[in-house]
């Protein structure tokens, strides 16, 4: 997951509402915003650790699969685990930890085998389920894995930054698995049938269109937080609302939401 670290200011996003009566005065958007902030942090961690992974031997790289993941340990520090799940066993090749002071060390502490197995099966199942919807696609995806206190596993699949720094949207997948990683407890799948994107580096307003959705999706909120500094404003248009994330010297990064005008049939 090679994406550039986001400037710290984006983690201090302010939320402002254009209309007090708007449908966005709800817990749903606040949860999406909190999850998107966590995703930005996860993404930054994965990017940093991926630079270290590329320096290991070919033998070690050959032992790694897509079952790698990041997580926060009980000490609230980020960890990255790299290996492969095969024949019911997770082969841990590398385990990194980012310490206070921003140093990174290889850790040899034993890991919970139930966690490793549950996450690995969940990751593979998530890609399989998303593949049923997507079919053949050349769009690269990033995964976000969250191991919950009750040992259930959440997996999000969102479009990665594509070659030539193209930020894409139009398809996203979320699955909640039981602790074994085999049973799906919940899912949210969204696919427009194609993907759209914007090249980074041009300070302009961009419009994300979700005409078949009633409210911003989790992927749309993450897109705004992740790429907000590259554009002068990001609009998220749904059939019922328009949301804007922009920047001003007075407010910093802020959100504005407005319901679309209702018309009589």
pLDDT digits (tens, 9 = 90+) for 37-53: 999 999 999 999 998 99
Range name among 8-17, 54-63, 253-262 with the lowest pLDDT average:
8-17
Helix/strand/coil for 197: strand
Check: CB of residue 49 under 8 Å from CB of residue 5: no
Range name among 45-54, 81-90, 249-258 with the lowest pLDDT average:
249-258
What stretches of the chain show up as alpha helix (H) in DSSP?
27-53, 58-62, 113-134, 218-227
- Three-class SS of 141-191: EEEEEEECCCCCEEEEEEECCECCCEEEEEEEEEEEECCCCCCEEEEEEEE
Rounded to two decimals, what is the model's pTM?
A: 0.87
| H or E element in which residue 94 lies | strand 89-98
Q: Which of 135, 124, 211 is nearest to 169 (CA)?
A: 211
- pLDDT of 131 > 50? The answer is yes
DSSP state of 229: G
Residue 11 φ then ψ, to 5° = -80, -5
Check: CB of residue 70 under 8 Å from CB of residue 143: no
pLDDT tier at 62 (50, 70, 90 boundaries)?
Answer: very high
Average pLDDT, the chain: 89
The angle subtended at Cα 145 by Cα 44 and Cα 78, nearest 5°, is 45
Residue with the two structure tokens 């998220």: 236
Averaged pLDDT for residues 182-187? 98
Residue with the two structure tokens 């959705």: 213
What is d(CA 136, CA 108) in angstroms, rounded to the nearest whole number? 39
């Amino acid at each position: 997951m090679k994406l550039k670290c986001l400037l710290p200011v984006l983690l201090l996003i302010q939320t402002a509402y254009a209309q007090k009566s708007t449908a966005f005065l709800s817990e749903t958007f606040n949860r999406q915003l909190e999850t998107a902030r966590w995703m930005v942090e996860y993404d930054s961690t994965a990017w940093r650790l991926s630079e270290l992974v590329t320096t290991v031997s070919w033998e070690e790289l050959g032992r790694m699969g897509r079952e790698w993941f990041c997580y926060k340990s009980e000490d609230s520090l980020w960890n990255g685990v790299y290996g492969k799940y095969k024949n019911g066993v997770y082969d841990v090749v590398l385990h990194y930890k980012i310490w206070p002071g921003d140093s990174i060390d290889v850790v040899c502490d034993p890991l919970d085998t139930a966690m490793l197995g549950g996450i690995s099966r969940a990751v593979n199942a998530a890609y399989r389920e998303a593949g049923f919807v997507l079919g053949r696609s050349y769009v690269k995806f990033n995964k976000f894995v969250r191991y919950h206190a009750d040992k259930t596993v959440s997996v999000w699949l969102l479009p990665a930054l594509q070659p030539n720094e193209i930020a894409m949207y139009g398809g996203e997948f979320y699955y909640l698995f039981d602790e074994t990683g085999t049973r799906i407890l919940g899912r949210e799948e969204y696919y427009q049938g194609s993907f759209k994107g914007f090249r980074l580096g041009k300070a302009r307003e961009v419009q994300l269109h979700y005409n078949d959705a009633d409210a911003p999706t989790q992927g749309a909120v993450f897109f705004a937080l992740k790429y907000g500094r590259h554009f002068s404003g990001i609009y998220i248009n749904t059939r019922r609302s328009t949301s804007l994330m922009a920047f001003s010297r007075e407010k910093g990064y802020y959100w504005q939401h407005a319901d679309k005008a209702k018309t009589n049939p």
